[in-house]
Structure 1
């Protein structure tokens, strides 16, 4: 059996052979464990891709793919020995039976089918199966996939999210904490701007009462302001807010204007 028939396995897996080629390859397939494994692997990959979710690719992907296609070198034409022309593929006699494929005809078929096999590989590479999500630039029409949530949004929407509120002279500070994520967010409603040359600084309070900086709030007044706090929120018992010099301090320099306990 000519070794070139192994090259038909990819086209066979996607049903890209004609009747004669399919019959010939199936006879070979029955006695070639290597081709059996390859065909089974290709078909299994195709099934996995059909089970995946679809995510919208980056907007720049199409331009990038088109630019890279221009750099792909095609396969060189078949040639015989130096100084000799390539033999033409034999044609069946008029009205007679089709002659058995020769080495030349099998090679010609393999070259003819090579673009099909390349297309299968390219589609599989473009469908990146990561954590059960397939990302395919050819299947994004009408996709309703939402962009990834920020860490702040993940904390606010977490199933174990807990909310702790505190009124501060007409303003309201809300701490949202997720122990499973180990993070916390402060949401300030109607919080006035910090005094000139000062900033509001947020602190985590540990079980011993010590304060650990969790960040400095933006120096501006907004109807609603949210900020992700720095540090492992699952380790602490509460949050404090102090007024500190511009840019914040290593440790509190004034009494807290608010203390919010996680209880």
Structure 2
């Protein structure tokens, strides 16, 4: 697929509508294309707003009103063969409204739960999109610093590339990666500033591909390392770095 074609996939990627091969190829492109990264963030935020606009909270007291109506509201009989007469029909008349209204109550409760869940997911997506956009703006600022420098290395165990860009004038650094090896469930990549023999945390990677502005100041660090840590990160590295890029 040509680069021009890849530029047209930002909306489909944000909507999770790409096939696996297309998604992986686009993510490789995304790691090196600030314009597409920005557009994906904007599409994601727009989709989140649309989802939030459609979510309707369950009205207060709905369950109480439906339960109170079980013995008073009659349900229209279904179309079809004429119902039986006599005692059987009377029993059906007594029990059918309860079953019908119970089903309506279950449907209302389910719909309300889905609406709340969709609203929560939309808020989370909006927060993620805002964070991505903010990071992109800061990384762009870092890349345009007069003294900006960078170093790259291939990622062991895969075909990806990791890059560190830094600026002493901005006192900041950023990390860009494509196709880092996937991790086992319950683990995450954690970045560190190397201050000689001491490592200080610089943030967690949400995915094996993407860009991250490292948290905390550069403060003369000699390098940036990446380790595999339990989900949520660690106070100190628990293993040897899988990557260590010099910052000079």
Larger radius of gyration: 1
Q: TM-score of the superposition, structure 1-length normalised?
A: 0.40
Question: 1 or 2, which has the higher helix percentage?
Answer: 2
Q: Which has the higher contact order (CA 8 A, sep 6+)?
A: 2
